Structures are given as structure tokens and as C-alpha cells.
Amino acid sequence: DIQMTQSPSSLSASVGDRVTITCQASQDIGNYLSWYQQKPGKAPNLLIYDASRLKTGVPSRFAGSGSGTDFTFTITSLQPEDFATYYCQQYDHFLSFGGGTKVEIK
Amino acid sequence: QITLKESGPALVKPTQTLTLTCSFSGFSLTTTGVGVGWIRQPPGKALEWLAVIYWDDDPRYNSSLKTRLTITKDTSKNQVVLTMTNMDPVDTATYYCAHRFNLVPGDVFDVWGQGTMVSVS
């Protein structure tokens, strides 16, 4: 099974900050990686697929990059509605999620 | 508009079998490429994929739970059913069903149900 390791597990940031989250796969997954946002009490919301493609309607301040085993998720200018938990997910071999990164208000 | 909604018992006893139903609209599970998956999330913890079923009736399971899971579809009712045997308190979680995003070759989920909380006690 492919293990996904996200870091950090949590971070504190201010509105307007640039935020970066990393996700590492236990083996090469090409670009078969997606990112989700989840707010408390709500279902996850797909933001990015194929490592860097934004789902239609997702703001351009969200970005993804990487391939192989190392991936990055960036929010270029954090907005109040972006405080949430973010998960990476690989879909190269079945599927598995990272442990999540909680983005909190500083 | 695609919507999904989970239903099932809120409380089950240890060793019992859990049966969850996902009722959906806005798509057909007979269309090539379409799939519905189940994902769960214990309180305060990360997401865990459980199973997915495709338009061609091919099921896939999380290897660590495979012996306990069965996923089936009823296309006439627009429903997907997940059963999980031998429930344990560690299976306490919110269970989500979700629609497979058909722009990628793998299993990514673009529309999710609201989730249903299941406690095992």
C-alpha cells in the first residue's frame, strides 16, 4: 500500500500569508495526486487533481506542484475562508489519503 | 446537479454488521467511467478510503479492510450499499459516499454526501 505523509500536521498563519503544505508518497505516483479542503463538520471539497490542475471554480490562489514522490500545495494569499484542514490523496494504486494539515488563524 | 446522501443506523453494537446506503441523483451508474466510493473519518482523525464500485460492477476495496467489506449497486434505485461486518468501537466514524471525478483515470471524488455518523458501542 502507498503511504502518504503530509507536513506539517498543523500551522498558524495570518490573512494574506503564503502557506505551503508538503505531501510525500512512499513510492513513485507520477502526478496522480489530488488535494482536498475540509471545514469543520463538512465533507471534503476537491481543489486540485493531477497534482496541479485546479478544479473548475477553485480560486487561483490555490496551487499544486510536484511529481513522483514529492508534492507541494500552496495558498498564495490566505483568505479568511481558507482556514480549514487540507488533505492530499494519491490515486496511482487504489487510493490513500495523507494525515491532513490544519491551517489555523495566527 | 449531482447529489449524494448517506443513510443508515447511528448506533451499532460490537460484532454487528453495518449496512449503509448511498442514494444519489444527477448521474447514472450505468454510464461508462462513473463510480461511487465510500470514505470514512473517525472523530478528529484523517480520511480513510473504504471501497469504490464502478459502472461495470467492478468493486475495489481497501486491502486492510477487504475481508469485512462488500459494496454493491442498485442502478434501478440509484443506490450504492456498503456492508461492513464485525463492527468494533474503532470503526466509530463519519461515513461518506462520493461521486468519482471522471476527468482523471484514477479515483478522485468531486462531489460528496453530507456524511453519516456511526457509533459502535
- Cell triple for residue A44? 471534503
pLDDT for B86 equals: 98
Per-residue pLDDT, averaged over B55-84, amounts to 96
Per-residue pLDDT, averaged over A95-106, amounts to 96
Distance in angstroms (rounded) separating the CA atoms of residues B48 and B40: 5
pLDDT for A21 equals: 98
Contacts of A86 in chain B (CB under 8 A): none
Distance in angstroms (rounded) separating the CA atoms of residues A38 and A50: 19
Contact B106 A98 (CB under 8 A): no
Q: Looking at the complex, does the CB of residue A34 fall below 8 Å from at least one CB of chain B?
A: yes
pLDDT for A87 equals: 98
Predicted confidence (pLDDT) at residue B105 exceeds the cutoff of 90: no
Mean pLDDT of chain A: 97
Per-residue pLDDT, averaged over B11-17, amounts to 98
Q: Looking at the complex, does the CB of residue A43 fall below 8 Å from at least one CB of chain B?
A: yes
Nearest CA distance, B43 vs chain A (angstrom): 10
Contacts of A69 (CB under 8 A, 6+ apart): A24, A25, A26, A27, A28, A29
Predicted confidence (pLDDT) at residue B104 exceeds the cutoff of 90: no
The dihedral over CA atoms of B24, B30, B33, B35, expressed in degrees to the nearest 10, equals 40
pLDDT, tens digit, for every residue of A33-80? 999 999 999 999 999 999 999 999 999 999 999 999 999 999 999 999
